[in-house]
Amino acid sequence: MTTHTRYTGLIEHYRDRLPVSDSTRIISLGEGNTPLIELHNIPRLIGKDVKIYVKYEGLNPTGSFKDRGMSMAVTKAVEEGSQAIICASTGNTSAAAAAYAVRAGIRAFVLIPEGKIAQGKLAQTLMYGAEIIQIRGNFDEGMSLVKQVADHAPVTIVNSINPYRLEGQKTAAFEIVDELGEAPDYHCLPVGNAGNITAYWNGYSEYAKETNGIPAVSSKVPVMCGYQAAGAAPFTAGKMIDNPETVATAIRIGHPQSWDLAWNVQKQSKGWFDSFADEKILAAQKMLSAYEGIFCEPASATSLAGAINDIATGKIPEGSTIVCTLTGNGLKDPDTAIQQCKDAHPVSIDASLDAVKKAILDNM
Ligand code: F0G
C-alpha cells in the first residue's frame, strides 16, 4: 500500500525544531524542500576532484531563500497579533514579505532603493500588492529608517534582525544534511546582511548536537565561506562602508545587520570571507547556466565564484564536498541576464520550413 504525504512547508516539516505550538496558525506557501543539485560539468571544467552541490533556493515560492525566513517571521507576527509588517529590501525580502502578508491577510510596507532593485522583484512586489515606499537612498539607509519607524508605528520588522527569520532559514542546513547524510566539508554563501550565513551555521550547529532530547544528526559542521561583491565588501574591508556598489544588487549592502554574528560564524567554523569583482560574479552566473542548466541571479553566483577561486588556490582541497547556496532565481533579474548575452544574436527568419531547415543546418 502506498501512503501519500503532502509536503506543506518547512514549519510543518521541522516543527519539532521551530518555535511553534499546536495552536499556532502556520503561514506557508510550501517553501523549502528545494533541490540540492550536484554539478557534473563544472568540476570537470576546472579539472579538480571535488564534489560541488548547489542548493537551488530560487525554486522557493517567491524565487528566493527569503521565503524560509518569511514563513516563520510572518507566522510569529500573526501569532503575536500584528496587523502589518515592514522591511527594507534590495528586492527579495520585499517580494517575500509581500507574498506572505497577503497569505496571512495583513499589510506589508516595503522600503526599496529607488531604481536599484531588479525588475522581476519589483514586478512581484507590485503584483502581491504591498505598499511600496521607494527611497532616494540605498538599502542601509532604508534599514536605518525601518528600525526608527518601528518605534513610532504598529509594524513588525521582518528583516533578518527579526530572530524568527533566522530560525526559518536554518532549515536549509537541515535539508542538506538530511539529504547527504552528513554535513558538507565547506559551505559557500553570498553575504549581504550576513543573516543567511548565520542561519545556516545555526542549523548545522543544531544538527551536530543533541537538541531538546533529539539526538545529533551529523557528526561535524562545515567550514563556512562568505563571499561578497568587491564594491560592497565590508567583511573583507573589516569595516562598514558607506557607498556600496555592485551589479549584484541583492547584496549591495555596506552596513550588514548581522555583523557580530557573522564574525562569530567565521571564527567558530574556522571559515573566511572574500570578495570578487562583478565580472567574476557574472562569469560564474553564466557558467552555471551554460554548463549546468541552472539559472540563478547574479548575487547568488557569488557563492560559486568564491568556491571556484578557493578550489583553484587549494584553500578548499581536492576530495572536499562543497555546497554553494544559490539564493535567488535568475528570472528575478532579466535585464542583467540579457545584458550578459548581448553577443548572442538570435537569427530572424521567414516562417517557412526551408528557412528553419537552413537555420538548423547552418549551425550544426
Ligand atoms: N542573495 C540574494 C539573492 C539576496 O537577496 C540576499 C539578500 C543575499 C544573497 C544576502 O543574504 O543578507 O542574509 O547575507 N537580500 C536582502 C533583501 C538584503 O532585501 O532581499 P544576507
pLDDT tens for each residue of 254-313 = 999 999 999 999 999 999 999 999 999 999 999 999 999 999 999 999 999 999 999 999
Atom of ligand 1 nearest to the CA of 159: 19
CB-CB neighbours of 3 under 10 Å: 4
3-state secondary structure of 37: strand
**How far apart are the two ends of the chain, measured CA to CA in Å?**
50
Q: Take atom 5 of ligand 1 and give the residue whose Cα is closest.
A: 250
Atom of ligand 1 nearest to the CA of 91: 20
pLDDT tens for each residue of 349-363 = 999 999 999 999 998
Q: What is the mean pLDDT of residues 72-89?
A: 98
pLDDT tens for each residue of 228-270 = 999 999 999 999 999 999 999 999 999 999 999 999 999 999 9
Measured in Å, residue 113 CA sits from the centre of ligand 1 at 14
Atom of ligand 1 nearest to the CA of 195: 13
Measured in Å, residue 251 CA sits from the centre of ligand 1 at 6
Model confidence at 182: pLDDT above 70: yes
Model confidence at 209: pLDDT above 80: yes
Name the pLDDT band for 4 (thresholds 50, 70, 90).
confident
Tell me if 173 sits within 8 A of 108, measured CB to CB: no
Measured in Å, residue 93 CA sits from the centre of ligand 1 at 7
Q: Take atom 10 of ligand 1 and give the residue whose Cα is closest.
A: 192
Using most ligand atoms within 8 A of CB, pick from 55, 64, 111 the residue to mutate for ligand 1. 64
Cell representation of residue 354: 526551408
Using most ligand atoms within 8 A of CB, pick from 251, 281, 329 the residue to mutate for ligand 1. 251
pLDDT of residue 345: 83
Cell representation of residue 133: 515606499
Name the pLDDT band for 335 (thresholds 50, 70, 90).
very high
Q: What is the enclosing helix (H) or strand (E) of 304?
A: helix 298-313
Model confidence at 2: pLDDT above 90: no
pLDDT of residue 3: 77
Model confidence at 217: pLDDT above 80: yes
- Name residues contacting ligand 1 (CB within 6 A): 64, 66, 89-93, 160, 190-196, 250-251, 297, 299-300, 327-328
Verdict on whether the full-model pTM lies above 0.85: yes
Phi and psi of 297, rounded to 5°?
A: -80, 160
Phi and psi of 60, rounded to 5°?
A: -70, 165
pLDDT of residue 212: 85
Instruction: State the DSSP code for 331.
Output: G
Distance CA 87, CA 98 (A): 10
Cell representation of residue 10: 518547512
Distance CA 52, CA 33 (A): 19
pLDDT tens for each residue of 6-20 = 999 999 999 999 999
User: Which segments within the chain are labelled E, that is strand?
Assistant: 36-38, 51-56, 84-88, 107-113, 131-135, 156-157, 186-190, 223-229, 272-276, 321-326
Model confidence at 112: pLDDT above 80: yes
pLDDT tens for each residue of 47-77 = 999 999 999 999 999 999 999 999 999 999 9
3-state secondary structure of 292: helix
Q: Take atom 11 of ligand 1 and give the residue whose Cα is closest.
A: 192
Looking at the chain, the whole-number percentage of residues with pLDDT higher than 70 is: 99
* Mean pLDDT, the chain, integer: 97
> String of b and e for 317-346 (b: at least 16 CB within 10 Å)?
eeebbbbbbbbbbbbbbeebbeebeeeeee
Tell me if 106 sits within 8 A of 130, measured CB to CB: no
Instruction: State the DSSP code for 157.
Output: E
Atom of ligand 1 nearest to the CA of 199: 13
Q: Edge-to-edge strands of the sheet including 272-276?
A: 36-38, 51-56, 321-326, 186-190, 223-229, 272-276
Cell representation of residue 172: 536549509
Atom of ligand 1 nearest to the CA of 88: 19
Atom of ligand 1 nearest to the CA of 253: 18
Distance CA 183, CA 221 (A): 6
Name the pLDDT band for 1 (thresholds 50, 70, 90).
low
Measured in Å, residue 92 CA sits from the centre of ligand 1 at 7
